[in-house]
Amino acid sequence: MENGSVNHEMETTSTITIKGILSLLMQNLDENNCKRAIAEYLSCDLPYKLSCDDVFITSGCTQAIDVALAMLAQPGANVLIPRPGFPIYELCATFRRLEIRYYDLLPENGWEVDLDSVEALADQNTVGFVIINPGNPCGNVYSYQHLKKIVETAEKLKIPVIADEVYGHLVFGDNPFVPMGVFGSMVPVLTLGSLSKRWIVPGWRLGWFVINDPSCMFKNPKIIERINKYFDILGGPATFIQAAVPRIIEQTDNVFFKKTINTLKQTSDICWDMIKEIPCLTCPQKPQGSMAVMIKLNISSLEDISDDIDFCFRLVKEESVIILPGTAVGLKNWLRITFAADPQSLKEALGRLKSFCKRHTKLMQQQQQ
């Protein structure tokens, strides 16, 4: 790849680190077994096999995001990030002195990527193209056809894809989950994931950074050495959690996953149905996956609310219901609502949201006067 090469300014040295030596000594113990289990798990959905050398263990997906951007960062570089998106990308990119270029997701088209804007934004200094699928915060799931178009655009622009798949397999709509690594032979794909969402263990902080590059367009021995050196200075997950990963992945019964999906489907339906009953809120698409959905806030129909931030602060004060303002994820006067909650608690919260909106609508206040 011409644009998305790894940071060549991060020169490797012959310095011997304690962690590096221990990693070599323990290659046949817990960490390698952990990597092998993750490689085999991800390979089940791919047309090729990943190896342990393709997998790097991180402290949750947040560290995987930082690693991906750190490896691609170089003077004058920029990265393409979705709007709306996950704010950690902006924080990590800014810290790594990467210029952030936001491309739009299209709510009227199921939050698909505006590929025309991507081509307009990218240039010879673009080093990465972030795709979040299943979508956070939008609750969308991309079709195989749309993912292929995304990869064809990345191939044309000669940039690797950073595939955030932390919500992988948490889908309950029409589109099945398709890992971006399926297209790894067309363009290098840096897959980011973790145990936290599918296995419902967020506090365990075990994630992965995986290089899907069977054609070796991105990776070579020097790049792998640089990445390994970088990981030598990072703090990883607790070793006892790494040791548990093979059994967690191999022995978790499918019934557990089905139960999670059924619960999310139930709560997403509740969210969709109850939001439709609130006039000042509009949901452009029924959630298809992940654990959240974006809702359009019609400020003009509210008498004394200035914007989405004002709305959320007053909602928590009056109703003790917490909703994230869309401004936090890149869309002003939208709301991000999570439906990863007990059904009864979710109904109660949405009922309070409805009461709040009713009290603050212009029509209601005019009638009271």
Task: Give the pairing type, strands 99-106 and 78-83.
Answer: parallel
- pLDDT tens, residue by residue, 116-156: 999 999 999 999 999 999 999 999 999 999 999 999 999 99
Percent of the chain having pLDDT more than 70?
90
Task: Say how far residue 172 (Cα) sits from the centre of its chain.
Answer: 17
SS3 state of residue 199: coil
Specify the pLDDT at position 244.
94
Segment 260-297, tens digit of pLDDT:
999 999 999 999 999 999 999 999 999 999 999 999 99
What per-residue confidence (pLDDT) applies to 88?
A: 97
**For the whole model, what pTM was predicted?**
0.90
96: closest CA among 58, 65, 138, 59?
65
pLDDT on residue 120 = 98
Could you report the per-residue pLDDT of 310-364, keeping only the tens digit for each? 999 999 999 999 999 999 999 999 999 999 999 999 999 999 999 999 999 976 5
Q: What are the φ and ψ backbone dihedral angles of 240, each rounded to 5 degrees?
A: -70, -30
Domains and CATH numbers, the chain: 25-251 (3.40.640.10), 255-360 (3.90.1150.10)
What does the pLDDT read at residue 13? 46
Contact in structure between 149 and 112 (CB atoms under 8 Å): no
Give mean pLDDT, residues 3-19.
Answer: 56
Between CA 42 and CA 195 the distance in angstroms is 12
The residue among 337, 327, 59, 321 whose CA lies nearest residue 208 is 59
Longest CA–CA separation in the chain, Å: 78
Q: Determine the pLDDT at residue 23.
A: 59
E-strand stretches of the chain: 55-58, 78-83, 99-106, 112-113, 126-132, 161-164, 189-194, 207-212, 281-282, 292-297, 324-325, 334-338
Q: What pLDDT score does 222 carry? A: 82
> Can you tell me the distance from the alpha carbon of 57 to that of 68, in angstroms, rounded to the nearest whole number?
12
Q: Is the pLDDT of residue 104 over 90?
A: yes
Mean pLDDT of 54-71: 96
Q: What are phi and psi of 95, to 5 degrees?
A: -65, -35
